[in-house]
A and B are shown apart, each in its own frame.
Chain A
Amino acid sequence: MREMTFTDAAREGLTEEMERDPLIFVVGEGIGARGGNFNTTVGLYERFGEWRLRDTPISERGFTGLCIGAAVLGARPVVDFMFLDFELDALGDIINQASRLSWMSNGQVKVPLVLRGGVGIAATGPHHSSSLYSFFMHLPGLHVVAPVFPADAKGLLKTALRCNDPVIFLEHKKVMKIKGNVPEGELSIPFGKANVVRPGKDLTIVGISYMVVEALNAAEALEKQGISVEVIDPRTLAPLDLETILESLSKTHRLLIVDEDFSPCGAGAEIAARVMEQGFYELDAPVRRLNGPFAPAPYSPPLEAVAVPNAQAIVRAAQMLLAE
């Protein structure tokens, strides 16, 4: 085991896959010699050259469309959007072509494409803080991956690069520097398998992306009050591993979903609805959600401190839920 950061682990996964499969290439702004805005490709330009690390002008719709075409013809492109917010400019082709061609061709056409981008609020203001998890969860044909820990980043990115369908790979800016153990050698983590990152018996908290970290901090604090919290990291939002959540619920009978993204029609809404459908008789209290306010991300640090759920807010929400 070695300790490395999320970004280094993901980059190691990318490097291994690029060495294994010459059809993998990366496209994006500043991902060449500069190594990516978030260091996603540092050192790869020197290693694989400009054909496989293609710097682009600011033209998301154009280069995404090119990559969808390349994927249809058998390549395995990675589009690195830097900030997920910029992916919105390319949504037309992502939704109408990438996510649907396989369905439209009865599976004869595959679109093995990885679309990656930084998400979450991290002193980044309204234009660079989108998470939009549920935008992509809503669409058939897309896998939505949101790892939190370095080993998961590497294992899930490798799975994404071998997947024959488009994958939305979302990296929260606040997890990029998180360090953790990453096993040596081959590492592959399947989609649709949640991780119980902390076992407990009084309450289940499902954290979305970085909120897993805050939930773990909250669980630590609640432990001191004699409250035992189980924390679940879904790891992939589509497919969603509801089974692990239901299994946890059958032990704790209380569920809190923490997501810094907007609450209406969000990932938490989807999880809550499905728990209601499949786990109603396990519920000893209503499912609760904790989200940020229904407003674009602020730039001001004091406002951000209030807008993003943190461990204290989670502790309060957990206490209220346990008193219901």
Chain B
Amino acid sequence: MAYDIRLPRLGWDMEEGAFAGWLKADGDWVDAGEMLFNVEGDKALQEMEALDSGFLRILPNCPPQGDKVAVGTLLGFLVPKEEMDGFCFPGVESLVIAASVHEEPAPVAVSEAPVATHASGNDASARVHISPYAKRLAEDLGVDWRRLAGSGLRGRIMAKDVQEATAQLKPASSATFLASPQSNARPVSIPRTAPVAPGVEYRSAMSTVRRKTAEHMSQSAHTVAPVTLTTEVDATETVRLRETLKKQDAGQGLPLPSYNDILAKICAQALMDFPTLNARLEGDEIVQFSSAHIALAVDTERGLLTPILRDVQAKSLRQVARESSGLIEKARGGQIGYDDLQGATFTITNLGMFEIDAFTPIIDLPQCAILGVGRILAKQVVVDFEKGEVALRQCATLSLTFDHRLNDGAGAARFLQRIKRYIENPFLWLVGI
């Protein structure tokens, strides 16, 4: 039996991806595990490996490189050696091409049997009946509905059959994701940053990253009840901690923790102290997590990406520093994988390098809070009002946006206060409060 090659779902909410080209030619022998084709998903480029072995037969009307294609779209087949002789493409497959502006692909001569005349003997009797909604659902969820047993009248597949099948899918059955070593064939369009000539409008298609960011942000803006709290923190001790590490490690090649790494560690501790901030809303239930998976907002030429540091509460600062530098490098190089972008419970976004002090970050759903970090600036601060004592301190402003649906002002304020306390007294997160 020939194996289907379909556009996989690379993230839980991915609905379509840009088909980014074959890595093998039509007719090539492919071993299971070899890299087969590229997909540009919501925010990342992925090389997909072959899940089976066989001769690659690319569908004559396979979408051209760069086309947006619905998840589950058939791209081709892997044909076992013994079937290669008699192989012909099965009858009309519904090929869904979203937003395609390409001309019809030129008809490709297909071995012996032309597509149109093909009808294998029992095709008609094997027709699977499925409701339009169930079919849409299956395609959205990447379920192969042709293999489902329907519970409706005369075996028709209903939405609940698809939902039950999804519930049984193990996460391990999803495709393996590997970072792409090459980044030249990326179909991304980036709006120009050069000045636009007078009297001219410059239009460009939204890149997938831009589009996804737009969707997430507007969904958040229309769903969340956001409140932003700001507070000024004295970061002198934290700056000193980092300077000490810098001196001590000099020349040893160890990764120096960035302020973001230190903040990730601090936030993880504070999230453990205040689990209502390490939570999300699912339907009308609040789900709290035992681990702090912290996303760092990273500005890349492809747009905003948020790679995730996992289980930060259980890792040493050094370990966090090592992982984050690797992740940020991958994000900037366009090699970040889906697994690195999914499942954060909290986000840190830092605009300090642009001389920003306070701002109102937007929550990345389904998370319930995000911490905005401003620049660290030396200031003259009253340290003892009674004695009239003034000192120079390293200060920064923190902006915490939280979702008022899950947390109240006082609870979020206590959380922010705890972060402030840890920054001002870094030894406290060693000792605990």
Contact = CB atoms under 8 A, between A and B. Distances in A.
Nearest to A249: B133
B153 interface: yes
Contacts of A253: 131, 133, 159
Contacts of B134: 284
Nearest to A281: B136
B295 to A, nearest CB: 31
Interface string A286-324: 000000000000000000000000000000000000011
A259 to B, nearest CB: 24
Interface in B75-127: none
Contacts of B152: 285, 323-324
Interface in B119-155: 131-136, 152-153
Nearest to B139: A281
Contacts of A323: 152-153
Nearest to A323: B153
A284 B153 contact: no
A280 B132 contact: yes
A55 interface: no
A324 B153 contact: yes
B296 interface: no
Interface residues of B, number: 11
A241 B136 CA distance: 25
A17 interface: no
A283 B131 contact: yes
Contacts of B20: none
A142 to B, nearest CB: 33
A285 B65 CA distance: 36
Interface in A246-302: 253, 280-285
Nearest to B152: A324
B133 A283 contact: yes
Most buried by B among A283, A285, A324: A285
B242 interface: no
B80 to A, nearest CB: 35
B132 A281 contact: yes
B153 A281 contact: no
A324 B136 contact: no
Contacts of B159: 253, 284
A284 B152 CA distance: 10
Nearest to B133: A284
B156 A324 contact: yes
A324 B159 CA distance: 11
B158 interface: yes
A142 B153 CA distance: 41
A282 B153 contact: no
Contacts of B133: 253, 281-284
Contacts of A281: 132-133, 135-136
Nearest to B159: A284
A61 B428 CA distance: 92
Nearest to B158: A284
A282 B153 CA distance: 18
A51 to B, nearest CB: 56
B180 to A, nearest CB: 33
B153 A283 contact: no
A254 to B, nearest CB: 9
Contacts of A282: 132-133
A243 B132 CA distance: 19
Contacts of B132: 280-284
Contacts of A285: 131, 152, 158
Contacts of B131: 253, 283-285
B15 to A, nearest CB: 13
Interface in A46-99: none
A41 B134 CA distance: 53
Interface string A181-212: 00000000000000000000000000000000
Contacts of B153: 323-324
Contacts of B156: 324
Nearest to A320: B153
B7 to A, nearest CB: 19
Most buried by B among A281, A282, A284, A324: A284
A89 B263 CA distance: 82
A225 B159 CA distance: 21
A34 to B, nearest CB: 54
A284 B133 CA distance: 5
A252 to B, nearest CB: 10
Contacts of A280: 132
Interface string B335-374: 0000000000000000000000000000000000000000
A323 B150 CA distance: 12
A282 B133 CA distance: 5
A281 B159 CA distance: 11
A180 B152 CA distance: 40
Contacts of B136: 281
17 contacts: A253-B131, A253-B159, A280-B132, A281-B133, A281-B135, A282-B132, A283-B132, A283-B133, A284-B131, A284-B132, A284-B134, A284-B158, A285-B131, A323-B153, A324-B153, A324-B156, A324-B158
Interface of B: 131-136, 152-153, 156, 158-159
Which 6 residue pairs are nearest across A and B when measured between Cβ atoms? A284-B133, A281-B136, A284-B131, A284-B159, A324-B153, A253-B133
